[in-house]
Each structure stands twice: as C-alpha cells, then as structure tokens.
C-alpha cells in the first residue's frame, strides 16, 4: 500500500515538472521568434482618449457660415476700393461653398475690372452651370466678350441663355447690342424691337434701337425712340443729347437747342462728355457738329 502511495506521488511530481517545462519551452520559443507578449491589462489602466469626430453636416454648416461672412466682407472691401483683398476673400468663399452663385458673379466682375478677362470668363461660366436659368451671369459674360471684341460669342451666349430657359426679354437687348457692334443692323433692329416689345420700360433697348435707326438713316424713327426713352426715364441726361443729334439731322435746330438746354440743366458738364458719347453710340454714322448749338443752348440756360 505504501509502495502504491509512493508511486502515485512520484508520478504526480513528474506530471507537474512536465507542465513547468512546457511553459518554459513555450515562453522561450515566443521570445526567440521575436514575438513580444503583452502584459495583462490592468483593471485600473485608463483607456486611450479618442478624438471627438465632427459630424460632416456640422463642418458643412461651418463652411457655409464662413463663406457667407467672407462674401459680406468682400462687399465692404470693395466699398473701400480694396479689390485685391476682396478677390482673395471671394476665392476662399467659393472654395468653402462652391455653390455660391452671387460670390461667383461678384468675383467675375472684379476680375473683369482688373482686366483678368480669361478668369472672368471662367468664373461666369461656372455661375451659369450653377444657375442656367438666371440671366445675370450671361449678361456679365457678354459684357466681357464685348471688351474682348468677340461680339459673335456674345450673340451665341445670349442665344444659349434663351435655349436654357432664360426669358427672351432678358437677353434681347444684349444680343441686339452685339449685332449693332458687329454692324449687322437688320439683326440688331429685330432683336432690339423684340426687347422693347417684351419689356415695357426698357430704356436701354429703346435708346439702342434709336442708334440703329440713326445708323440706317431713319432719323424720324430714331428721334421717336429717343423721345420714348426720355418719357421712360425723365432724369436721363444722355437721352436729351441723343434727341438733339436726331433733331439736327432733321434740320430742327430750335428743337435741338431746346433738348440741349434741358440736358445741360440735368448735367452742367454735358458738353464735356458729348464727344465721348459720339464715339460710344454714333460710331457707325457720326453726328453733325453741335458746337454752335451748344453755344446757343448754354446762353439760354438760366443761371442759378
């Protein structure tokens, strides 16, 4: 019985030694292979802090708010003639909010004023892609094309606007003026007549149609347009000069003097500017010299 007990005890010691040896072997293999075992985690160890994630919608809202702030700051900068900084602010506003139509319009205008015409074209084109049915970007784009002596592109831009759903009355004036600058008087007349018929009170179109009729030698029709424009905008100083030009061609000097007199009352410096008006509006057919009529008109102007 004692033998059995002793044998069993020895067997149990062998088993224990075997398991101890196996533990050392496994530990040694892990170390030899370069695998580092991590110590057991402590229950009191602090968990690593995780960065607080910002919801995408919150970031988007912040960007929109910043873009709006930059837009209004740019307006203030423009009022103080700080155009370079205004451009920087608007560029950043568009980066933050690529869908800002008004920011693109304003930036394009500034580029045009800085004579960065290709940039202006690009920005206005981007605005059109955002709002293809808004006439303003098309009108700005046409204006840049005119300064680049690319009136044919101006016509195509106006036609594109109409095909995209912009009301025709918003574009006929621009299209007609481009045709006039091209010397295509028939198409200019057709477009400008459509503009005056579609938009009642369209003084610009009415004056432009008067220039077309003057270039065609249709002086009665030209005078009629200028008179209607004067009725639509009684404060205009230019239209009185236009009327005087037409009266002179019709041999009505007294009426021309009367028109100049009214124009001088509205703008005492009208005489200093009329030659520039001739170059801008009567370049196809130069008006008669009105120096003598100006002398008479100024003599009749009442001194305040």
- CATH at residue 235: 1.25.40.10
Q: Please, how many CA atoms are within 13 Å of residue 283, restricted to the half-sphere of its CB?
A: 10
Q: What's residue 237's pLDDT? A: 85
pLDDT score of 23: 38
Token couple for 278? 């001739």
Q: Which domain holds residue 249?
A: 217-304
Q: Evaluate whether 288 touches 249 at the Cβ level (below 8 Å).
A: yes
Q: Are 213 and 221 a contacting pair, CB within 8 Å?
A: yes
CA 59 from centre of chain: 25
Residue 59 to residue 197: CA distance in whole angstroms:
49
Separation CA 138–CA 145 (nearest Å) = 10
Structure pTM?
0.76
The pLDDT assigned to 90 comes to 97
Q: Which residues contact 285 (CB under 8 A, 6 or more apart)?
A: 214, 215, 217
Query: Would residue 166 count as lying in a domain?
Result: no
CB proximity list for 129: less than 8 A, separation 6 or greater? none
Q: What is the pLDDT of residue 199?
A: 72
Q: What is the pLDDT of residue 29?
A: 39
Q: Is 158 contained in some domain?
A: no
* pLDDT at residue 151, rounded to an integer: 97
Q: Give me the residue label for tokens 């077309």.
A: 212
* C-beta of residue 236 within 8 angstroms of C-beta of residue 203: yes
Q: Does residue 284 lie within any of the structural domains?
A: yes
Q: Which of 214, 184, 215 is nearest to 226 (CA)?
A: 214
**In whole angstroms, what is the distance from residue 229 CA to residue 239 CA?**
7
Quick one: angle between helices 253-266 and 270-281, nearest 10?
A: 110
- Taking residue 63's Cβ as centre, other Cβ atoms within 10 Å add up to 15
Does any domain span residue 286?
A: yes
pLDDT tens, the chain, 304 aa long: 333 444 433 434 443 434 434 433 334 434 433 433 444 444 444 444 444 555 666 666 789 999 999 999 999 999 999 999 999 999 999 999 999 999 999 999 999 999 999 999 999 999 999 999 999 999 999 999 999 999 999 999 999 999 999 999 899 999 999 999 999 999 999 999 999 998 778 999 999 999 999 999 999 999 999 999 999 999 898 999 999 999 999 999 999 999 999 999 999 999 998 989 999 999 998 898 999 999 999 985 454 4
Cα angle 100-101-104, degrees, rounded to a multiple of 5: 90
Classify 170 in phi/psi space as left (phi over 0), alpha (psi -120 to 50) or beta: alpha
Give the sign of the dihedral formed by CA 36, CA 42, CA 45, CA 49. positive
- What's the pLDDT score for residue 1? 39
Structure tokens at 304: 């305040």
Q: Is 281 inside a domain boundary?
A: yes
Q: Is there a domain that residue 291 lies in?
A: yes
Do residues 98 and 64 touch, judged by C-beta distance below 8 A?
no
Q: Is residue 231 part of a domain?
A: yes
Question: Which helix (H) or strand (E) covers residue 56, if one does?
Answer: helix 56-79
First to last CA, the chain: 146
User: Number of structural domains, the chain?
Assistant: 1
Report if residue 238 sits inside a domain: yes
């Amino acid at each position: 019985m004692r033998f059995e007990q002793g044998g069993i005890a020895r067997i149990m010691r062998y088993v224990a030694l075997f398991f101890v040896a196996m533990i050392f072997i496994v530990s040694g293999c892990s170390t030899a292979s370069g695998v580092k075992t991590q110590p057991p985690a402590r229950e009191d160890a602090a968990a690593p802090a995780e960065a607080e994630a910002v919801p995408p919608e919150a970031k988007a809202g912040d960007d929109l708010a910043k873009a709006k702030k930059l837009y209004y700051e740019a307006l203030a900068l423009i009022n103080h003639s700080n155009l370079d900084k205004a451009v920087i602010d608007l560029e950043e506003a568009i980066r933050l909010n690529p869908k800002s139509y008004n920011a693109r319009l304003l930036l394009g205008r500034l580029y045009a004023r800085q004579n960065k015409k290709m940039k202006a074209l690009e920005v206005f084109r981007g605005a059109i892609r955002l709002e293809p049915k808004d006439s303003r970007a098309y009108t700005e784009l046409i204006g840049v094309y005119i300064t680049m002596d690319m009136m044919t592109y101006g016509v195509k831009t106006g036609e594109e606007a109409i095909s995209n759903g912009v009301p025709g009355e918003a574009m006929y004036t621009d299209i007609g003026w481009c045709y006039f600058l091209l010397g295509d008087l028939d198409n200019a007349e057709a477009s400008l007549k459509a503009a005056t018929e579609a938009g009642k009170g369209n003084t610009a179109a009415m004056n432009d149609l008067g220039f077309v009729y003057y270039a065609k030698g249709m002086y009665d029709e030209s005078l009629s347009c200028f008179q209607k424009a004067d009725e639509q905008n009684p404060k205009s100083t230019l239209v009185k000069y236009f009327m005087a030009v037409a009266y002179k061609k019709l041999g009505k000097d007294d009426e021309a003097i009367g028109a100049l007199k009214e124009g001088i009352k509205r703008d005492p410096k009208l005489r200093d500017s009329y030659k520039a008006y001739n170059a801008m509006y009567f370049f196809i057919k130069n008006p008669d010299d009105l120096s003598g009529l100006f002398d008479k008109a100024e003599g009749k102007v009442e001194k305040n």
